[in-house]
Amino acid sequence: MIRRIRSLAPLPLLATTGAVAVSLLVPGRTALVLHVYLLTLATLALGYLVSVLRRTHPVATASPFDLGLRAQSRDDTALPELARLEREVTLSMTTAFDLHFRLRPVLRRISARMLASRRGVELERSPETSEVLLGEELWELVRPDREPPRDRAAVGVELSSLNAMVDSLEKL
């Protein structure tokens, strides 16, 4: 702190020297020179006080408001599963093979759990009730006796059909 005072000490002396020099060179403007001199000293004093305050009470790097505006870090633990599911959906829209062997088990597991938890119906034990609750399109995909596709390269499921299946699952 003493070093800071010593480093700032020449500034008021410089302002005083300047004010005296200007008042000697322009004798009719002494009042204006005095006002500018006092304003300069007040500015220096205020700057010093602000620097002392900043050192004694440091400002946080970010306010709580700023921290709230920052994007929250994403939890990457669920992302691999989501990426896998997105890949399965994309592949199932491409070929019937991927629809049957990749997406069908996922939809079958979801359907069975939702039927059991929300309706008290077991997918394999009550196929008629399951078909009514799931809808014809979803039932055709998840029914237990569904055979693998003969033409593995055939077109998979349409996006609109997949949306309808998801809607019927959400209605459960």
C-alpha–C-alpha distance, residues 139 and 149, integer Å: 16
- pLDDT tens readout for residues 1-11: 566 666 777 88
Same domain flag for 150 and 96: yes
C-alpha–C-alpha distance, residues 91 and 152, integer Å: 12
Same domain flag for 91 and 135: yes
Percent of the chain at pLDDT > 70 equals 91
Percent of the chain as helix, strand, coil, to the nearest 5: 75, 0, 25
- pTM value is 0.54
Can you give the length of the chain in residues? 172
Same domain flag for 100 and 33: no
Percent of the chain at pLDDT > 90 equals 34
Extract the tokens encoding 103.
């997406």
pLDDT confidence of 68, banded at 50, 70, 90? confident
Residue 77 lies in a domain: no
Q: Can you give the residue range of the structural domain that contains 52?
A: 2-58
- pLDDT tens readout for residues 113-129: 999 999 888 988 888 89
- pLDDT tens readout for residues 120-155: 889 888 888 988 898 899 999 998 888 999 998 899
C-alpha–C-alpha distance, residues 135 and 80, integer Å: 30
Same domain flag for 90 and 44: no
C-alpha–C-alpha distance, residues 75 and 153, integer Å: 37
C-alpha–C-alpha distance, residues 34 and 20, integer Å: 9
**Region at 135 (left for phi over 0; alpha for psi -120 to 50; beta for the rest):** left
Same domain flag for 124 and 162: yes
Q: Are 138 and 115 in contact (CB under 8 A)?
A: no
Question: Is the confidence at residue 35, as pLDDT, over 90?
Answer: yes
Residue 81 lies in a domain: no
Mean pLDDT value of segment 12-17: 88
